[in-house]
Amino acid sequence: MDKIASKNASLSEEVIKISVRNLVEFILRTGDIDNRKASGMDKDAMQAGSKMHRKIQKRMGSNYYPEVPLKTIEKCNDFSICIEGRADGILIEEDLITIDEIKGTFKDLEYITEPVFVHKAQAMCYGYIYAKDHQLEEIQIQLTYCNLDNEQVKRFVDKYDYSELESWFLNLVKEYEKWARFQFEWRKTRQKSIQPLNFPFPYRNGQKDLAASVYRTIYRKKKLFIQAPTGVGKTISVVFPAVKAMGENLGEKIFYMTAKTITRTVAQETFQLLKRQGFRGKVVTITAKEKICLCEDMICNPQECPVAKGHYDRINEAVFQLLTSQDEFTREVISDYAERFRVCPFEMCLDITTWSDVIICDYNYVFDPNVYLRRFFGESIKGEYIFLIDEAHNLVERGREMYSASLYKEDFLEVKKIVKYYNKTLERALERCNRNLLEMKRECENYQIHESIGSFWVNILHLMGELEKFMEVQEQLPNQEILLEFYFRLRNFFQIYDRVDENYVIYTELEPDGRFKIRLFCIDTSTNLQGCLDKGLSTIYFSATLLPIQYYKSLLSKNEDDYAIYVKSPFDEKKRLLYIGSDVSSKYTRRGYFEFSKMAEYIRTVVLAKKGNYMVFFPSYRMMEDVYEIFQEYQIPDVDCILQQPNMIEEQRETFLERFISKPEKSLIGFCVMGGVFSEGIDLKNDSLIGTLIVGTGLPQVCNEREILKQYFDERQMNGFDFAYRFQGMNKVLQAAGRVIRTDDDLGVIILMDDRFCTKSYQNQFPYEWKDFKQGNMEQLKLELEDFWKHIS
């Protein structure tokens, strides 16, 4: 059996692979979408508690074998279906073999009167595979439900003849066969289209080597970190070799991950470019639920949503119709088919990913334990995935947020007020947790680091059980949404606590507004990220600002043999003036009218030297507004100013950027915030932007969490200030500076306004292209600007 599986697992063979869990959940699903009951909120609700799984497995004795991989190949005329998974346990006794499927739950076990059928179906699949491999006439199927609060166990046991399981299993495979056949036929079409593809442009300097490095990395199943400045053509240089690798059977699916909507648009356009050359690939862009939902309030139950009732009865046919009629699955296309078939567009979008060759999505659909696509990453079986991670510098902070969790004392009191008239047992469970937090609060003046959370953990487990039991009974409450959100926060805390190790710090904090929280803070994200990426074949991290590369390698990967390359800028450095203002500072201790006036004077000096469009980036909205007010006092004719506003919606951002036109009649200054929506990802080419002024070093604001970060790395003999502040700050600076030179035809100025840039500790973080910087005071800047624009025009 192992030899057969090994031979057929190759992508070059005519084999369609699917996991046991995905097979049963896909073919056997029926009924409504309903998030009102705790058990229905998440398909993965009973998968929680890996530690409890291991505990149960250890109790079962020496004849019990945990985590047993199983695989079967089923022939379907001209192709085969490979169905594989991992049984939680197999109990081998003299007269009988038992397949054990373990599910953790917070529900009171007395309410579980029979196993959930998809859980039982998983165990039946494993039973069939094992019985077939070992030529057994009968086998026993056991469902083990364990209450994660009190560790009570309830088991359901059934004995099956092999012939009965075989008939049931082969019928399941038969229902899946039309989907597998579609996948098989489409793969041939896709592979044939990739063979003749050529790079769509003449290679720029360094671009061919970059594309070759990406291909070699995928071929060797490694990770590659790419630092490549703006203008190299990173996106096509990464996408093209990845598609070619897929055509050579080096990967079956490409995940293109981004942090921002604008970079997802760039990715879509890049794949469209290859499609115009003949590439046949099914490409889906995952749209956030709040943007694609048909309902205004996103209440997912059959009473509130017109498509929730019977969604799972209609969805498979809807997906098949869409797959067989379209190749590009945009938000508009998915919404159209969802309305036509009366299904949820967001769930339909997620289902489409199963059959897509390219998935363009936010980081969280691969990494976030609350959001990730469980059909690809919920089990320990690897897939033939190629991961392309755009703007990878964002993944460190995003990763920390995804793998951290917080609970606030005040939320326990709010929920207690809601439920006290309905359930006294739940009220007492909430009060116990509140008392735990109150004790911690009394010992915390500002913030306090804890080795563990003690009895609070036990009380959290009990509370989750009582809350889930309560929500199973109480479907309609005035504050139902508050209860649901609280439940999700508790569940997230539970899942993250299961991960806590030496990469975490547990701390409590009394926030400035008086709220008190306990936080599980993931500092080193590499272990968690690695666990996700290990489920694929190869990973390409790329960014214009991935410096210092060792910093990102240490926090984004656990492998010491990862590759890294630095791609030099293809642009003529003479077309860009880089100047450091040495007589101005944004240090907190020097902020005031005097320094702000100098900043305003710098802006005036730059704008008066050449008519055009400029952006000025500040470390905060407050400083931006203060400097803007002073600048307005100059009343310079033929100069317009616009200010970035907090929380701008997409339409407002577009309106802001539309002001930056080519060949403007008047100069335009955009006052912006560093690290905001306009400091990275925007593409103002040619003379749409001829200058960027950057105020300050971009350092994050000093806060307790930053100080915890600093202390963590200092204790490990690493420079804590660099890891907590400087590296992130310089990344913001480099991103903002990268807005100016985007093409061979671009020219412009970059002004760094802070005397700290004159020090070695900051200049050591400069990219290679910045070696020609100039520095001096404002009077010297006037001369440099005059000389630059005179010789460049």
Give the angle 420-426-429 at the CA atoms, nearest 5°: 115
- Token code pair at residue 745: 């035809």
pTM of the model: 0.90
3-state SS, 351-367, equals HHHCCCCEEEEECHHHH
Find out whether 176 and 72 touch, Cβ atoms under 8 Å: no
Instruction: Provide the pLDDT for residue 13.
Output: 55
Please report which helix (H) or strand (E) contains residue 502, including its range: none
Supply the DSSP string of 553-581, one letter for each residue: HHHH-S-TT-EEEEPPP-S-GGGEEEEEE
Which residues have C-beta within 8 Å of that of residue 575, sequence separation ≥ 6?
Answer: 741, 746, 747, 748, 792
Supply the DSSP string of 764-791, one letter for each residue: TTS-GGGTT-EEE-HHHHHHHHHHHHHH
**Quick check: helix, strand or coil at residue 295?**
coil
**Pick from 406, 404, 467: which is nearest to 432 by CA?**
467
Per the listing, tokens 């209609």 go with 314
HSE toward the beta carbon, residue 335, CA cutoff 13 A: 13
Rounded Cα distance, 683 and 539, in Å:
26
Instruction: Provide the pLDDT for residue 10.
Output: 40
- Which letter does DSSP use for residue 515 in this model? -
Rounded Cα distance, 464 and 150, in Å:
11
Per the listing, tokens 């990469």 go with 503
Residue 478: Cβ within 10 Å count: 7
**Quick check: helix, strand or coil at residue 128?**
helix
Rounded Cα distance, 245 and 215, in Å:
6
195-281+357-400+542-570 and 573-792 share one fold: yes
Find out whether 185 and 524 touch, Cβ atoms under 8 Å: no
Starting at the earlier edge strand, list the strands of the sheet with 774-776: 639-643, 667-673, 613-618, 691-695, 748-753, 576-581, 774-776
Find out whether 54 and 42 touch, Cβ atoms under 8 Å: no
Give me the residue spans of the domains in the chain: 2-180, 195-281+357-400+542-570, 282-356, 405-522, 573-792
Find out whether 689 and 745 touch, Cβ atoms under 8 Å: no
User: Which of 2.60.120, 3.30.70, 2.60.40, 3.90.320 is the CATH number of 2-180?
Assistant: 3.90.320
Calculate the average pLDDT of the chain.
Answer: 90
Q: What are the E-state strand segments in 294-370?
A: 328-329, 358-362
Rounded Cα distance, 319 and 185, in Å:
17
Which residues have C-beta within 8 Å of that of residue 196, sequence separation ≥ 6?
Answer: 278
pLDDT lower than 70: segments of the chain? 1-13, 36-51, 379-381, 475-476, 793
Instruction: Provide the pLDDT for residue 319.
Output: 96
- Token code pair at residue 575: 């077309």
Instruction: Provide the pLDDT for residue 40.
Output: 46
CATH of region 405-522: 1.10.275.40
- Token code pair at residue 136: 């057994």
Reply yes or no on domain 195-281+357-400+542-570 having CATH 3.40.50.300: yes
- Architecture of the domain defined by 573-792: 3-Layer(aba) Sandwich (3.40)
Instruction: Provide the pLDDT for residue 50.
Output: 66
Rounded Cα distance, 394 and 294, in Å:
31
Residue 688: Cβ within 10 Å count: 21
Instruction: Provide the pLDDT for residue 392.
Output: 95
Please report which helix (H) or strand (E) contains residue 478, including its range: none
Instruction: Provide the pLDDT for residue 3.
Output: 28
Contacts 24+ apart (CB under 8 A), 422-431: 422/470, 422/474, 422/477, 423/466, 423/470, 423/474, 425/466, 426/463, 426/466, 426/467, 426/470, 429/459, 429/462, 429/463, 429/466, 429/467, 430/463
Instruction: Provide the pLDDT for residue 792.
Output: 82
State yes or no: cis peptide before 637, omega within 30 of 0.
Answer: no
Rounded Cα distance, 562 and 718, in Å:
21
Q: What are the E-state strand segments in 560-658?
A: 563-566, 576-581, 613-618, 639-643
Rounded Cα distance, 436 and 123, in Å:
40
Chain centre to alpha carbon of residue 758: 36
b/e 229-249 (16+ beta carbons within 10 angstroms → b)? bbbbbbbbbbbbbbbbbbbee
